[in-house]
Amino acid sequence: MSEPAVLFNEKVCNGGKKIAIATLNAEKSLNSLSLEMVDLIAAQADKWEQDDDIIAILIDSAGDRAFAAGGDIRMLYESMVESGASYNAYATDFFSREYRLDYRLHNFPKPVITWGNGFVMGGGMGVFQGGDFRIVTENTRIAMPEIGVGLFPDVGGTWFLNQARGNTGLFLGLTGAQINASDAIYIGLADVFIPHGEKNAMLDALAAKDWSENAGANREQMGEILANLQEQYVDRLPAEQLKSHEQWIEDVCAGDNLEAISAAICAYNGDDKWLNRAVASHKAGCPVSIYLAYELNRRGKNLALADVFRLELIAALNCSKYGVFQEGVRAQIIEKDNAPKFRPPTLAELTPEIREQYLSPPWDGEHPLADL
């Protein structure tokens, strides 16, 4: 029998309280977030909330390579091929349940710790950003690379990229650029640095404390413990990649519209490897995805989190309906020819009508996330 997609354990603390542990367990697929994982964690969350002995949740992953390198989108691809341009019930179900879990984590009444070792991308970022204490390690590689597969920074990206320092979140969404632990803490997409090999030491430090049933007091004490641990390892933080480019990022993302920003990004002709990779990804990205990354970032600046997920569901299902997501997955994951033929092929050909159709509800009746 195969192992469960998520493993559940508990760490017993001094005084008998417990930390619940959920381990994403699909190492071969870099723990890509599947619907089975989503449902298992969602069901367990109901039990954790009701159990007074559980004082906090830790979500980590199997193996050393990835927290979660994205979403498990092969089934989504098959559903897109089958449904074509008609209503896709599976995609609606997948994205709705994934977004519900992300929203639940952001609003969970007990402290949530997310251990973001290795690749933390796409759907993995949705879970990671739901933590009260988002821990990064020397191996962390964070990115929202959806423009390459005909999607956009979803799973709450409209919200958390808007929380990032200055225009860095917008830049990450428009380029899919990877950042490390130092970058993530600097721009506000992570909270604590602890080396990966010290995870058990962290759990032992938490378990040594007495905990109450007051979630607020527990959250405060937990923050102090983790901050003290970070102080021990600060000299092991990796060299920053983003900070030295912050002013350039601010300048290029300060344009009055998407076309001006895109032109400024594409005009880079320096020899910095990190920036060159980011610029190349932007140039190769799906024009619809680049538009949505920009437009949702703009619209989402003052939206409540529930409204962010409602807006993202509309855009995600339209990416599925109109073919750009299917083509991106085909080229990058299914056939791996790395030559997607996105339609339309350029930003200049994105007419107002096309832009509007991607942000118009693709269903009749009530929004699937109306009750968030």
Catalytic option among 70, 71, 176, 285:
71
Which strand ranges, in their side-by-side order, compose the sheet holding 66-68?
66-68, 119-121, 141-143
pLDDT band (50, 70, 90) for residue 2: confident
Instruction: Summarize the confidence of residues 37-45 as an average pLDDT.
Output: 98
Q: Is 123 an annotated catalytic residue?
A: yes
pLDDT of residue 292: 98
For the segment 101-121, the average pLDDT, to the nearest whole number, is: 98
The residue annotated as part of the active site, out of 60, 72, 132, 146, is 146
Q: Is 201 helix (H, G, I), strand (E, B) or coil?
A: helix
Report how far residue 299's alpha carbon sits from residue 305's, in angstroms, rounded to the nearest whole number.
12
* CA–CA distance, 137 with 190 (Å, rounded to integer): 10
- Sign of the four-CA dihedral 100, 147, 288, 248: positive
Q: Which helix (H) or strand (E) holds 356?
A: helix 352-357
Percent of all residues in the chain with a pLDDT value above 90, rounded to a whole number: 96
Q: Out of 70, 118, 122, 123, which one is annotated catalytic?
A: 123
Q: Is the pLDDT of residue 87 over 80?
A: no
Domains of the chain, by residue range, sit at: 6-357
User: What is the pLDDT, as a whole number, of residue 83?
Assistant: 87
Q: What is the pLDDT of residues 252-295, one digit of tens each?
A: 999 999 999 999 999 999 999 999 999 999 999 999 999 999 99
Q: Tell me the CATH number of domain 6-357, given options 3.30.70.20, 3.40.50.300, 3.40.190.10, 3.90.226.10.
A: 3.90.226.10
CB atoms within 10 A of CB 274: 15
Q: Which of 154, 191, 312, 327 is catalytic?
A: 154
Q: Report helix, strand or coil for 273.
A: helix
The answer to whether 147 touches 106, Cβ cutoff 8 Å, is no
The tens digit of pLDDT for each residue in 319-328 reads 999 999 999 9
Q: Is 154 a catalytic residue?
A: yes
Residue-averaged pLDDT of the chain: 97
Predicted pLDDT of residue 1: 64
Q: Across residues 336-348, what is the average pLDDT?
A: 97
The percentage of the chain sitting over the pLDDT mark of 70, rounded to a whole number, equals 100
pLDDT above 90 (res 35): yes
The verdict on whether 150 is a catalytic residue reads no
Question: What number is the average pLDDT over the span 220-226?
Answer: 98
Confirm if 58 and 20 have CB atoms less than 8 A apart: yes
